Amino acid sequence: MTLDLVIRGGTVATAADVYRADVGIRDGTIAQIGLGLEAAEVIDATGRLVLPGGIDSHVHISQPSGDGIVMADDFESGTRSALFGGNTTVLPFCLQAKGQSLRAALQDYHALAEGQCYTDHSFHLIVSDPTQAVLGQELPALVADGYTSFKVFMTYEGLRLNDAEILATMDTARRTGALVMVHCENEDAIRYLIGRQEAEGEVRPKAHATTRPVAVEREATHRALSLAEITEVPIVIVHVSNGAAMAEIASARARGQKVVGETCPQYLMLTAKDLDGMDWEGAKFVCSPPPRDEAEQEACWRGIETGVFDLFSSDHCPFRYDDPAGKLNPRGRTSFRHIPNGIPGVETRLPILFSEGVAKGRIDLSRFVALTATNHARTYGLERKGSIAIGMDADIAIWNPEAKRTIRHADLHDGADYSPYEGTEITGWPETVIVGGKVMVREGELIGAKGEGRYVPRSRSALAASAYP
């Protein structure tokens, strides 16, 4: 068999196995796995790990974020940063504005992404206006067109849905085989707590954490799971930050519900104390749910080790810090409630989990692959992605497991002006990244061009698919 490219002599890892083999690529697809493979182009991977490219199924890019606030990444910088972090596919969100049709929103996002991406990409929808037309006609047609997942919010003014709207949206998912992702925080409880803090004159960034305590997330997680049980749909609980919300997921599973749990680097690496930095520095760490404490970090690690979590995503939602369109916008300087929510992290997600998880012996390589690639592909219907096997897209990251690096924003490739993980020591980094058989990053150097990343329509989730042959 004539191959275009062989990755020779590396240690291949999948969610099931770790073994020595050459990987042969032809026409953008993994065509052969074996020993002694030959091709015109050979990459020597001796001493390296050959892993499926990361799939980051929770990123925000070019998302409108309120008056005068601009997200720090467009599709060029966001996917370039993802690529350097060992990712080959990202799933950003397409936000429906109130009154807007989902098709119109998608047209906007496709136009922004077209010709700009270094990685493959697909879109989740954010349903903010679940009218009869949206739920009855648009969503079913879009699911059939390959937009097979959508997110609903229980918080954020202008985005949150009430229980009746969530039930109606979940019912559309039930009828169409789509997967619902839920942001679980109780908006009314948050507003009550914000009112109390501001009445006491507390406006600093640290109040973002105290006005969104664990109970706010736990209650909403319980409610989302109950609504999913009632409507009989599988759901994803995204960006879980603590043990109480994890216990809700575990109980729902014990009742027989299909639930996917997702956590993110911020819940392993940051705490609420980070929001208490000098001179508004805490704004750099404002995200929702907020980082908790060391005990909750440990709980999240247990969830990663024991399988409460299937997905480890970045929730990359970048805003510049020292910028009037970012964290330090004029209103954001007056109160925590006006600081845009979200932090950057698409490039550091995989190195952090590798270093803190694999190198420190908390998880093995196969679990790393499952949490960062394979489970994302299965959960979100990316049939040809997330593993190294014959017939799969040749999306591969070659890692140096011994590389030592210190995270410095100056070395990263996103559009923000800081990293929440500045100064963190890392062992293990992806050196070469291949997307669809094309070497995009070779030993740390960008050699691919923007626009080589393709849009990928998706099948239904493996969780929902059994009802939809």
Q: Which does 80 bind (CB under 5 to 8 A by kind): Zn ion, ligand URP, none?
A: none
* 3-class DSSP string for 389-405: CCCCECCEEEEEEEEEE
Could you tell me the smallest distance in angstroms from the CB atom of residue 317 to Zn ion? 5
Q: Tell me the C-alpha distance between 173 and 219, whole Å.
A: 23
Could you tell me the smallest distance in angstroms from the CB atom of residue 349 to ligand URP? 14
Closest CA to 62 of 318, 347, 342: 318
Q: Which does 292 bind (CB under 5 to 8 A by kind): ligand URP, Zn ion, none?
A: none
Question: Using CB under 5 A, which residues numbered 181 to 220 contact Zn ion?
Answer: 183
* Residue 288 interacting with ligand URP (CB under 6 A): yes
* Residue 180 interacting with ligand URP (CB under 6 A): no
DSSP-assigned states of every residue in 163-227: HHHHHHHHHHHHHHT-EEEEE---HHHHHHHHHHHHHTT--STHHHHHTS-HHHHHHHHHHHHHH
Q: In Å, how far are 4, 315, 434, 440 from 119, measured between CA atoms?
A: 20, 17, 9, 9
If residue 11 lies in a helix (H) or strand (E), which one and from where to where? Answer: strand 5-13
DSSP state of 354: I
Q: Which does 341 bind (CB under 5 to 8 A by kind): ligand URP, Zn ion, none?
A: ligand URP
8 Å CB contact between 118 and 90: no
Could you tell me the smallest distance in angstroms from the CB atom of residue 187 to ligand URP? 12
One character per residue 128-147, x = contact with ligand URP (rule: CB under 6 A): --------------------
Residues 210-233, buried b or exposed e (16+ Cβ, 10 A)?
bbbbbebbbbbbbbbbebbeebeb
Could you tell me the smallest distance in angstroms from the CB atom of residue 452 to ligand URP? 27
Question: Using CB under 6 A, which residues numbered 46 to 105 contact ligand URP?
Answer: 60
One character per residue 350-389, x = contact with ligand URP (rule: CB under 6 A): ----------------------------------------
Instruction: Give the start-end residues of each E strand in 295-424.
Output: 311-312, 396-406
If residue 42 lies in a helix (H) or strand (E), which one and from where to where? Answer: strand 41-44
CB nearer ligand URP, residue 121 or residue 124: 124
DSSP-assigned states of every residue in 256-281: T--EEEEE-THHHH--GGGGG-GGGG
Could you tell me the smallest distance in angstroms from the CB atom of residue 45 to ligand URP? 35
What six digits make up the tokens of 296? 């909750």
> What burial class does residue 101 get, using C-beta atoms within 10 Å of its C-beta: 0-12 exposed, 13-18 middle, 19+ buried?
middle
Q: Which residues pair with 63 in a beta bridge?
A: none
State which of residues 72, 287, 353, 441 lies at the interface with ligand URP (CB under 6 A): 287
Neighbours of 23 (CB within 10 A): 27
* Residue 183 interacting with ligand URP (CB under 6 A): yes
Question: Using CB under 6 A, which residues numbered 293 to 322 contact ligand URP?
Answer: 315, 317
Could you tell me the smallest distance in angstroms from the CB atom of residue 128 to ligand URP? 12
Neighbours of 9 (CB within 10 A): 17
CB nearer ligand URP, residue 69 or residue 439: 69
Q: Tell me the C-alpha distance between 405 and 419, whole Å.
A: 14
* Residue 315 interacting with Zn ion (CB under 5 A): yes
* Residue 6 interacting with ligand URP (CB under 6 A): no
* Residue 178 interacting with ligand URP (CB under 6 A): no
CB nearer ligand URP, residue 60 or residue 206: 60
Q: Tell me the C-alpha distance between 266 and 315, whole Å.
A: 9
* Residue 458 interacting with ligand URP (CB under 6 A): no
* Selected range binding Zn ion among 19-27, 102-110, 177-185, 192-200, rule: CB under 5 A: 177-185
Query: What is the total count of residues that contact ligand URP (CB under 6 A)?
Result: 9
Q: Tell me the C-alpha distance between 350 and 426, whole Å.
A: 10
Q: Which does 287 bind (CB under 5 to 8 A by kind): Zn ion, ligand URP, none?
A: ligand URP
CB nearer Zn ion, residue 39 or residue 350: 350
* Residue 263 interacting with ligand URP (CB under 6 A): no
Site residues, Zn ion (CB under 5 A): 183, 315
Site residues, ligand URP (CB under 6 A): 60, 183, 239, 287-288, 315, 317, 341-342
